[in-house]
Amino acid sequence: MALDLDTVALFVRVAALGNVSAAGRERGLSPATASTRLVQLEGVLGARLLHRTTRRVALTQEGEVFLTQAQTLLAAEAQALASVGQGFAAPQGLLRVSCSSSFARQHISPTLPEFLARYPGISLDFRLTDRVVDLLEEGVDMAIRVGALRDSTLIARKLAANRRTLCASPAYLAAHGAPKHPGDLAQHECLTLGDQRDWRFVTPGGPMSVRVSGRLVSDNGEVLRDAVLAGLGIALKSTWDVAAYLQRGELVPVLPAYPLAEEVAIWAVYPSRVFVPPKTQAMIEFLQARFGPVPYWEAQWPTKAVGRDE
């Protein structure tokens, strides 16, 4: 008996969601019908794919092996459809995207009306969270991540540069002076994001790491932006978050002669697949075009700097 690809797609969603009923609802199936189809799939394969409990399901060893093959089958189907005509390749379907809340509100949310107007076949489930989402576990198609990438199992596409700078308010620098060297930061109030207390610099003598400290630590970048504007200390911020304040002089760059050692970027990440769905590809290309080689928030970057050795 041949495999039914619709049922294979149902199995892949069950594996992602850990719930037969939820996966069935996405495809317009009752829980009973979804369960029956999965049992039929197991019969065709001659193997048990799922451990079922009253609350959730989990993959068996055979299910884990089949999941990889199932994803390849579905990717090949999508690629075959896309190859026979532009109509089949038109981006469509529900696109689940995860993004950090601050970046999303400032730079993604304003673009969504244009994106949805351009791609009427796409529906968006846009999730804002500052935690790192497990894409497969939560059934997310794509995440937009800011910073250094940690998970090597995902495919990453660069959306834009993420230049960072140390900055402070003019009031803070007037009261405490401007550091002349990265080592001077030990005598300053430094506003830190979570446990990111080791700030790394490029110096004439080679790479240098400085352990900083201060009275305010937060896991939210907007809290730190508000704090640095209020004159509470020196912060390490991405220019997409503070460029406007730097341009207006409400914040001032600190230690511009000492570049930060770690290069980071803004990335689109998605699970490794043979074929990237047109809906995911559409969002990636749309954002790349929107941000451009030099992101718009870098326009008219301020030239006045504090802390440079003359």
pLDDT of residue 268: 93
Does 258 fall in a domain? no
- pLDDT over 50 at 203, yes or no: yes
Please indicate, yes or no, if residue 299 is contained in any of the structural domains: no
Evaluate whether residue 11 is within a structural domain: yes
Q: How do residues 263-300 score in pLDDT, each as one tens digit?
A: 789 999 988 665 677 889 999 999 999 998 888 888 75
Domain containing 208 — which CATH number? 3.40.190.10
**Total of domains in the chain:** 3
Same domain, 232 and 198: yes
**Domain span including residue 277:** 93-159+264-293
Is 304 inside a domain boundary? no
Residue 154, in any domain of the structure: yes
What's the mean pLDDT when you consider all of the chain?
85
Verify that 140 and 281 share a domain, yes or no: yes
* pLDDT(210) > 90: yes
Query: Tell me, what's the pLDDT at 103?
Result: 92
Residues 134 and 273 in one domain: yes
Residue 247 domain-assigned (yes or no): yes
Flag whether pLDDT at 85 surpasses 70: no
Instruction: Examine the domain organization and report whether 46 and 173 are in the same domain.
Output: no
In a domain, 207, yes or no: yes
Distance between CA atoms of residues 192 and 207, nearest Å: 20
Confidence of residue 226 (pLDDT cuts 50, 70, 90): very high
- For residue 306, tell me if it sits in a domain: no
